Amino acid sequence: MSREQLEAAGYGFHHQSEDGKYLIMGNGTDAFAIPAQQESPIKAAEMTTEQNYNMIDGVLNNTPTMSELEAKAKAGEQISLFDVAEAAKAKAQKPKQPQRPAQKQKKPSIRAQLKAAKEEQQKKPPQREKAQELEV
């Protein structure tokens, strides 16, 4: 439970541990020790999934990317085939982002289009009217 949850349940702050890592909360009959700093849920997940604790950095998955592995291989370092397989799987699952053109062409406004169409019409010669002769 967090400090706020314990305070809402009627427990008050009593004292802090000597090393400063824990807060002691009590209500007169019961006492609880809670961490002074709440751990990140990502850090907790990392501690259960990472192979070694030197990779705990707040990023859940620290598997190297395919480009990083290729760079290591070109440098002559040994790479794990398991890491290559994981990187290939992650690359396949990653959604592809649509490629955007370097520069978007700005469309002319509707007013500009109407004005251009009106000027175009005025440049054209008027159409001749056909004379019809009626027979009586």
Express as a percent the part of the chain with pLDDT over 90.
0
- Contact between 2 and 13 under an 8 Å Cβ cutoff? The reply is no
- The residue with greater pLDDT, 133 or 50, is 133
In this structure, what token pair is assigned to residue 114?
């109407």
Give me the half-sphere count of Cα atoms (radius 13 Å) on the Cβ side of residue 20.
Answer: 0
**Residue 3 to residue 36: CA distance in whole angstroms:** 9
Using one digit for the tens of pLDDT, what is the confidence trace for 66-106? 888 888 888 888 888 888 888 888 788 777 666 665 566 77
**Residue 9 to residue 3: CA distance in whole angstroms:** 10
Q: How far apart are the first and last CA of the chain?
A: 105
